[in-house]
Chain A
Amino acid sequence: GAGVSQTPSNKVTEKGKYVELRCDPISGHTALYWYRQSLGQGPEFLIYFQGTGAADDSGLPNDRFFAVRPEGSVSTLKIQRTERGDSAVYLCASSQWGFTDTQYFGPGTRLTVL
């Protein structure tokens, strides 16, 4: 079946602008995760959804970052007043139940803030 998809694959924006990044998880997966990967580093956890609710948002760096998953499927990561330091690859992953289930990663969205 289809894997995790993310759109757009690349996003270039100017400092101070608002961006939305979309994630389509594998059908039927209840758990969805967002991570951020800076160049040369491992992915860093941002937020985890179980169904529609954010079960753990401890990784969001500040209140400019927000994510939703209104119907328990597609999720959108929203970044307000972007800063150059937000430039990174944003990864989405889903798993069937969460916890130690295998997480399947999407290809990522490369965000560049000029």
Chain B
Amino acid sequence: GNSVTQMEGPVTLSEEAFLTINCTYTATGYPSLFWYVQYPGEGLQLLLKATKADDKGSNKGFEATYRKETTSFHLEKGSVQVSDSAVYFCALSDGQGGKLIFGQGTELSVKP
């Protein structure tokens, strides 16, 4: 079945460091891919998405490129801030109604 695997956390970085959170997926067909973020004390919110191969999703300085050849959707940011501290979830939707299949989440902690 369809699944998503994320790198394990927690990830601890200093402010202005470069961030990569790895995400790979297994799916039949052509899924859409998402990154959701959960800030402390808040609900899940969409960070970015890509709906077809080679698409790049971007938002708030974060980027991820849909790589079909490597079945990956790694999240990157060039310079993290303390306010980026949160749990990040990679997810896919196989288009059959749109249900999301999530990875286990990666906790990011950014220190000043």
Report A's interface with B, CB cutoff 8 A: 4, 31, 33, 35, 40-45, 48, 50, 55-56, 59, 91, 93, 95, 98-108
Contacts and interface: CB of A to CB of B under 8 A. Distances in A.
Contact of A43 (B32, B44, B46): B44
Contacts of B36: 105
Interface residues of B, number: 24
Contacts of A44: 102
Contacts, number: 67
Given A42-B89, A43-B44, A107-B43, A98 B104 contact: no
B77 interface: no
Given A40-B104, A43-B44, A99 B97 contact: yes
B95 A102 contact: no
Contacts of B89: 42-43
A32 to B, nearest CB: 11
A55 B97 contact: yes
28 contacts: A33-B99, A35-B100, A41-B104, A42-B4, A42-B89, A42-B91, A42-B102, A42-B104, A42-B105, A43-B102, A44-B102, A45-B99, A45-B100, A48-B99, A50-B97, A55-B97, A56-B96, A98-B97, A99-B93, A99-B97, A100-B49, A100-B95, A103-B100, A104-B45, A105-B43, A105-B45, A107-B42, A107-B43
Contacts of B44: 43, 91, 93, 105
Interface in B80-99: 89, 91, 93, 95-99
A92 to B, nearest CB: 10
B97 A56 contact: yes
Contacts of B42: 107
Contact of B97 (A43, A48, A93, A105): A48
B98 A95 contact: yes
Interface string B30-74: 001000100000111110010100000000000000000000000
A111 to B, nearest CB: 16
Contacts of B13: none
